[in-house]
Structure 1
Amino acid sequence: MGWLKNPWRENLKDTPKESLNWRLWYGVFVFGLMGAARGIDEGLIGTTAELTPFIEKFGLEDPNKSKHEQAELLSNIASMVQMGSILGALVAFFVTDKIGRLWATRELCIVWVLGISIFLASASTGSIGMVYAGRFIAGIGIGQTTVVAPTYLAETAPRAIRGLCVCAFAGAVYLGIMLAYFASWGSSIHISSSTDAQWLVPNSMHLMFAGIIFILSFFSRESPRWLIKVGRHEEALETLSRLRQLPPDHPYVASEIYDINDQLNREREATMGTNWVATFRELISTKANLYRIQLSIMSQLLSQWSGSSSITIYAPRYFEMMGTTGQNEKLFATAIFGLVKFISSIICAFFLIDFIGRKRALSTGITLQLVSMLYMAIFLLIDKNVDKTVEQSSSQKHAAMGAIVMIYFSGFGWALGWNSIQYLINSEIYPLRLRALGGSIAMTFHFVNQYGNSKAVPLMFISMTTGGTMLFFSCVTALGLVWVWFFLPETTGKSLEAMDEMFELPWHLIGRKGAQMTKGSGGMSEMLDAEGEKVAQAEMDGKGQIQRLEETKAV
């Protein structure tokens, strides 16, 4: 286990042990927990749509509706949170900077609770309009969590473990999914299907988590970086001192304060005299920046349409397609799927990605996902022609079991691949003055694609058949593998300077050879410096030889 321990020991060697205190882990817990907002919704809405009271209340299987109308209704209900999240992600950048990280947290919790309350109140009226409105409003709050929480965690964590602390948010997404799956499964067993409580109880998890985060935020400290940004310097120093449990004049605290001021000064200098229009014009004016935008857009497009997101939202439907029958059996299989994804995401985020590199991790994850999707596609295309009135043979049963196992494998492949990379690269590739705008574009495109996916999948099952839909996802996954090999550069361990140099290379070299051509923290400049030192040394050697020759002649 030494190979696991040494990197942590090396990272923490310059970090005072006092800074790794309960205040740090409290903040990581509170703000990391916001990741559960998305996970709870993604886990609950698909399983809620499998519960009899919800189906009957809102006519999801109304015989007077065509199959297309039923699918349209389900997709509208499922996708409303994603639609609201698009607006939430857009306004979050403004709100977070305007009122601070803590009050932005409280504001989003209030919006989240308001939306879910309207959604739950629809049980008494049966109004589908209240379902749509409630889930859209809740989405505005949930969408803001993707900006507020990572920002706070990155700004308050010690630099040595900043990546680990931010990963707590991503891990909480799958914690929320897992808890939501188990809540729906438990309610299907222990609560009568003749009462709306069967779907109201699990969906009350939204209110519980929003309430917990709202209350705990009052015992948290504001981000020192935001306090300095708004001119509250003394409060920032006192806050950072308390967070690190070190005196204000300690070198470690003084160094952090200096770094924050230096970064803010550079940001102001970089954006002085410009507005967002000028910044956007700069973003699309150079080949290097256009390549960066291409990475942001394609990473979101290929990840969301690789099929894994739809499996998360509509997991019970997928298990039913693979042969799992019965409401309780489908929900139990879904709950185990949530557990697999949660454990996989923790293992991959904390251990694998940093050790094997981003590009290799993504390629491996996509390959696992491709094999899984292709198997499920072939199984479904063959299975649709099988006579269901005849008892299955042993080989058919084994094939169906293999298809179910492939759902779990696809979850592991997603955790190792697209799950982390779609967020990581957007936080690494943009220069300082363009980072906020580039990140905003990336997250907005993320929710747009997630909305489109959750909206389209039920209709795709009808128009393309289930097997054809899985074959489509397989093709997108294969396209993603090619894109990663050709376009995605390896960014592990790269400094900002090396990153900028890499994007100045010809476009056809960035993804395939960018990492090798910009080795080390200084990239190309470091190589040129080394070459310059060799030339200088050769000149000195030559001068020495001439001097010795002249001395010999003189003698």
Structure 2
Amino acid sequence: MAGGVKKPVNIFRLQDLGEPKEVFNWRLWFAVFSFGLLGAARGVDEGLISGAFNSKHFQGTINYSSYTTVEQANIKANVSSMVQLGSVGGALIAFLICDKIGRIWATRQLCLLWVLGIAIFMGANGNLSAIYAGRFIVGLGVGQTPVVGPVYIAEIAPASVRGLCTCIFTGFVYLGIVLAYFTNYGCQVNLGDTTAARWEVPTSLHVIFAVLIFVLSLFQYESPRYLIKQDQSDKAAQVMARLRNLPPGHDYVVQEINAIASSHREEMEATAGSGWLGILKEAFTVPTNLYRVCLTICAQILSQWSGAGSITLYAPDLFKILGITGTDRTLLVTAVFGIVKLTAAVVCALFLVDFIGRKRSLLLGITFQAVSMIYVAGFLTAVPELGGQEGYVLSPSQSGLSKGAIAMIYISGFGWALGWNSMQYLLTAELFPLRIRAFCTSLAMAFHFANQYGNARAVPNMLLPLKLGGISPTGTFWSFAIVTVLGGVWVFFMVPETAGRSLESMDRLFSLPWYKIGRYGNRNADRSDLESPHIAEEKVITGRVVLDEVEKKA
């Protein structure tokens, strides 16, 4: 360093990529916060719906007790999972909306859909059809959040902290869950179980977050990468300068914009005049892109069927199965579960994802999750009465094992937050070229919600005894354990490391044959890709100038 003065170390960055200190400023963090808050949409719903549904007043409005056990399981599954079903449609249309009206207006319209759906749900007055319709419309809005939020954040974040910034979205998922769990618990204790306020007050969290996100969007600027895609390079440079807290003419800003524009220009030249058909063709016929599509889709399937998402959704019911008695106590234990997952998400965002890398963090989380699922499945195998006898009383020895199983549920949540739930958004947002990024992210999130819907819809029926058509709690947790272990093996062999790379350099990871990418892709990539984007672009420009001179002489 000049003058022998060392630059301050930022422990939250994978490495120093040469960014000016002005890059890490309040405007960047405010934008990341505003769009990260979109993560709370899913968290609030997942944390609220089970507790709200279990309130006696809500059940009374739909005459829940008049149905058979199997019908009750189906109704609960339908109400709980209808948001996921709507989210499949929301994720599919998100890329059209993002590319048509931009990331900012996409955020505003999804907030309006979100509020409309909640209004229908709360005003249904016990009509199951209206309840389903309202929840479905909520899903159309919420389903766009994991496309719009991570894509915007990934597009504005410097490479050295992109993992941290994108994981803030995941952190807000868990903040939403914690607030929802504790709101359920507080209303249960203070408002009683037989009043409308018991479930209506927690449900109002949806409206609070939707309005807050809408208002924050009024103070944000469009993504520079989207502006370049719309041939607004001058405006993109102005926005990038604002985000980087540097003058528009600063070398770093100019070279970063040039790198983005150059990459997009090459994509457009390769697919000139092909329109939407060209996007589909580029995604599914270019081998490196097809591998990335398969990578993100497989990640969604394996993550959702590992069971952690359904544990979040049905946590009060599952804690009851493991021996927790009393509604108040069940909700309190569930709320603590939310805090554990939030803590794990914060640890992952601050200390792991950009420090030890995406892949190691993912494998670490899967290991925690696998051990936990195997323990819980083994416990339920040893004490099958918990899944088949109402009011079964544990013996002293079984009580100790039960506490261990509850602790393992906490550990599984910790592992989920460290691994799958952070990485599924981050990898999806940063793997794809700009031209197909919104489409491929939407496709991946559609698979995310389709599998989440399938899992959320199936779990209440899976938990039923064999004689009622289920596979029992024991079979349910063994199936989760098997999928989790398979997911770990798949990640080890198939998923490359993406930490520290600019979005425009990801192609280098996929230059090997598909069966070698997971193990050797990062080593094979040119190490110069890990340099600052402005340095990489400088090399690209220099190379092109030399090439032009050679061609002229020829």
TM range (shorter): 0.7 to 0.9
Q: 1:197 Cα shift?
A: 0.8
Superposed CA deviations along residues 291-325 of structure 1, whole A, max 9, x for unmatched, are 33332222111110001000010010111011111
In the alignment, structure 1 residue 24 sits paired with structure 2 residue 31: no
One-letter code of the match for 1:146?
P
Q: 1:464 aligns with which of 471, 477, 489?
A: 471
Correspondence 1:372-391 to 2 at 5 A: 372-385=372-385
Assess, with a 3 A threshold, how the Cα gap between structure 1 residues 89 and 400 changes in structure 2: closer, same or farther: same
Partner of 1:398: 400
Which residue is 2:494 aligned to? 487
Match of 1:48 in 2: 52
* Aligned twin of 2:98: 96
1:195-206 pair list within 5 angstroms: 195-206=195-206
Note the C-alpha offset of 1:96: 1.8
The correspondence for 1:443, drawn from 422, 442, 445, is 445
Q: Give the match's secondary structure for 1:14.
A: coil
**1:456 CA displacement:** 0.6
Residue 372 of structure 1 deviates from its aligned partner by: 0.7
CA contact under 8 A between 1:430 and 1:438: conserved in structure 2? yes
Change (3 A) 1:250 1:491: closer
Query: What is the identity, as a one-letter code, of the residue corresponding to 1:485?
Result: F
RMSD of aligned residue pairs (Cα, Å): 2.8
Offset of residue 476 of structure 1: 1.1
Alignment of 1:201-280 (within 5 A): 201-280=201-280
TM-score by length of 1: 0.86
Judge conservation of contact 2:354–2:500 (CA < 8 Å) in 1.
Answer: no
Asked whether the 8 Å contact 1:498–1:520 carries over to 2, the reply is no
TM superposition shift of 1:7: 6.5
Which segments of 5 or more consecutive residues in structure 1 lack a partner in the other structure?
524-555
Q: Would you say the 8 A contact 1:271–1:433 is kept in 2?
A: no
Work out which of the two has the higher radius of gyration on C-alpha atoms and give 1 or 2: 1
Residue matched to 1:415: 417
| Distance verdict in 2 for CA 1:110–1:431, change over 3 Å | closer
Give distance in 2, aligned partners of 1:389 and 1:76: 26
> 5+ unaligned residues in a row in structure 2: which ranges?
1-6, 465-469, 531-554
> Mean alpha-carbon deviation: is it higher for 269-278 or for 206-215?
269-278
Asked whether 1:87 is paired with 2:92, we answer no
Q: What amino acid maps onto 1:56 in structure 2? A: G
Name 2:552's counterpart in structure 1: none
Instruction: Give TM-score scaled by structure 2 length.
Output: 0.86
Q: Does 1:473 align with 2:477?
A: no
Q: Is the 8 A contact 1:15 1:160 kept in 2?
A: no
CA displacement 1:27-82 (0-9 Å, x = unmatched):
2222111110111011111221222211222234x1x3221111110110011111
Cα offset for 1:182? 0.6
Distance 1:384 1:510 in 2: 43
- Matched residue type, 2:379: F
| 1:38 maps to amino acid | R
Residues 376, 406 of structure 1: 8 Å contact kept: yes
- TM-aligned CA deviation for residue 255 of structure 1: 3.1
TM-aligned CA distance change 1:270 to 1:175, over 3 Å: farther
In structure 2, the partner of 1:329 is: 329
Q: Deviations over 1:492-515 (max 9, x none)?
A: 456779864654434443334444
Aligned mates of 2:227, 2:506 — CA distance in 1? 30
How many residue pairs match? The answer is: 517
Q: Is the 8 A contact 2:370 2:481 kept in 1?
A: yes
Task: Give 1:535's aligned residue.
Answer: none
What does 1:152-171 correspond to in 2, within 5 Å?
152-171=152-171
Query: What is the CA–CA distance in structure 2 between the aligned matches of 1:498 and 1:220, rounded to whole Å?
Result: 27
Distance 2:258 2:247 in 1: 15
Cα 1:210–1:282, aligned 2, differ >3 Å: closer, same or farther?
closer
Matches within 5 A, 1:290-309: 290-309=290-309
Deviations 1:3-25 (A, max 9, x none): 984564953753242x4333333
For the residues of structure 1 that align with 2:408 and 2:181, how far apart are their CA atoms? 19
Shift of 1:271: 2.6
2: distance between equivalents of 1:324 and 1:203?
25
**Cα deviation per residue 1:80-124 (whole Å; 9 max; x = unaligned)?**
1111111111111121222222222211111110100111112xx
Equivalence for 2:533? none
Aligned-residue sequence identity (percent) comes to 50
- Cα contact 1:50–1:327 (8 A) shared by 2: no
Distance 1:370 1:203, change over 3 A: same
C-alpha spacing 1:390/1:3, structure 2 compared with 1 (3 Å): farther
Higher relative contact order (CA 8 A, sep 6+): 2
How many angstroms apart in 2 are the aligned matches of 1:507 and 1:465? 39
8 Å contact kept, 1:498–1:518:
no
Structure 1 residue 235: deviation in Å?
Answer: 4.2
